Amino acid sequence: MKFGKTLTFVVLVSVVAGLSGLASVRAQEGVTLRYFMWDPEFEPTEQQMVDICSAELGINVELETMEPSEYWPRLQAMAAAGDLPDVFNMSSGYVDEWARDGLMLNIQEYVDRDIMPEAENYFVGLFDAARYPDKTEGDMYAFPFAFVETVLYYNVDAFDEAGLEYPSEDGWTWDEFLDAAQALTVDRDGDGEIDQYGFWFYGRYAHIESWIYQNNGRLLNADRTRFEPDENAIETLEFLNSLIHEYGVAPMPAEMEGIRQQDVFPLGLAAMWVDGSWNINNNRSQLADAEEPFSWALAPIPRGPHWEEDTAYGWADLMAISPYTEYADEAWDFIRCMTGPNRTVELTFPGKIPIYRPTAESEDWLELDQMPPNKGFLLEWARFTGPTSFTPGWGEWRGYVGGSGLEAYLNEVFNGNMELDEALSAAAEQANSVLERFYPEE
Q: Which stretch binds another protein (CB under 8 A): 45-53, 71-79, 108-116, 169-177?
A: 71-79
Q: Give residues with Cβ within 8 angstroms of 262, minimum separation 6.
A: 275, 279, 282
- Contact between 340 and 144 under an 8 Å Cβ cutoff? The reply is no
**Angstrom distances, CA of residue 28 to CA of 14, 263, 343:** 21, 52, 28
Shortest Å distance, C-beta 172 to another protein: 28
Q: Which stretch binds another protein (CB under 8 A): 231-239, 322-330, 332-340, 403-411?
A: 403-411
**Angstrom distances, CA of residue 329 to CA of 103, 131, 213:** 17, 20, 39
Q: Give residues with Cβ within 8 angstroms of 46, minimum separation 6.
A: 37, 39, 63, 65
Shortest Å distance, C-beta 276 to another protein: 19
Q: Which of residues 42, 166, 294, 400 is near another protein by CB under 8 A? A: 400
Q: Name which of 72 and 247 has its Cβ closer to another protein.
A: 72
**Distance separating alpha carbons of residues 386 and 305, to the nearest angstrom:** 18
Q: Which stretch binds another protein (CB under 8 A): 96-104, 122-130, 301-309, 328-336?
A: 96-104
Question: Considering CB under 8 A, how many residues would be counted as binding another protein?
Answer: 33
Residue 96 lies near another protein (rule: CB under 8 A): no
Residue 255 lies near another protein (rule: CB under 8 A): yes
Residue 76 lies near another protein (rule: CB under 8 A): yes
Shortest Å distance, C-beta 142 to another protein: 15
Q: Give residues with Cβ within 8 angstroms of 373, minimum separation 6.
A: 295, 297
Residue 103 lies near another protein (rule: CB under 8 A): yes
CA 171-172-173 angle, 5° bins: 125
Give the number of other Cβ atoms within 10 Å of residue 345's Cβ. 14
Q: Which of residues 39, 64, 396, 432 is near another protein by CB under 8 A? A: 396
Q: Which stretch binds another protein (CB under 8 A): 19-27, 135-143, 284-292, 389-397?
A: 389-397
- Contact between 345 and 419 under an 8 Å Cβ cutoff? The reply is no
**Distance separating alpha carbons of residues 370 and 288, to the nearest angstrom:** 11
**Torsion-angle region of 243 (φ positive above 0: left; ψ -120 to 50: alpha; else: beta):** alpha
**Distance separating alpha carbons of residues 143 and 37, to the nearest angstrom:** 14
Q: Which residues of 358-384 are buried (b: 16+ CB within 10 A; e: fewer)?
A: ebbeeeebbbeeebbbbbbbbbebbeb
Shortest Å distance, C-beta 177 to another protein: 24
Shortest Å distance, C-beta 77 to another protein: 6
Q: Name which of 378 and 427 has its Cβ closer to another protein.
A: 427
Shortest Å distance, C-beta 15 to another protein: 24
**Torsion-angle region of 319 (φ positive above 0: left; ψ -120 to 50: alpha; else: beta):** beta
Q: Name which of 128 and 407 has its Cβ closer to another protein.
A: 407
Query: Residue 295: is it exposed, middle or buried by C-beta count within 10 angstroms (0-12/13-18/19+)?
Result: middle
Q: Name which of 386 and 393 has its Cβ closer to another protein.
A: 393
Q: Give residues with Cβ within 8 angstroms of 267, minimum separation 6.
A: 259, 286, 290
Secondary structure class of 320 (helix, strand, coil): strand
Shortest Å distance, C-beta 335 to another protein: 21
* Pattern 289-328, another protein, x by CB under 8 A: ----------------------------------------
Please state whether beta strands 87-91 and 32-37 pair in parallel, antiparallel, or not at all (unpaired).
parallel
Q: Which helix (H) or strand (E) holds 404?
A: none
Q: Name which of 81 and 222 has its Cβ closer to another protein.
A: 81
- Contact between 353 and 120 under an 8 Å Cβ cutoff? The reply is no
Residue 220 lies near another protein (rule: CB under 8 A): no
In one-letter notation, the amino acid at residue 76 is: Q
Residue 72 lies near another protein (rule: CB under 8 A): yes
Q: Which of residues 259, 288, 290, 368 is near another protein by CB under 8 A? A: 259
Q: Which of residues 337, 395, 424, 435 is near another protein by CB under 8 A? A: 395
Q: Which stretch binds another protein (CB under 8 A): 150-158, 256-264, 300-308, 331-339?
A: 256-264
* Pattern 408-437, another protein, x by CB under 8 A: xx-xx--x-x------------x-------
Residue 404 lies near another protein (rule: CB under 8 A): yes
In one-letter notation, the amino acid at residue 89 is: N
Residue 258 lies near another protein (rule: CB under 8 A): yes
Q: Which of residues 51, 67, 101, 422 is near another protein by CB under 8 A? A: 101
Contact residues toward another protein (CB under 8 A) are 72-73, 76-77, 79-80, 97-98, 101, 103, 252-259, 393, 395-396, 400-404, 408-409, 411-412, 415, 417, 430
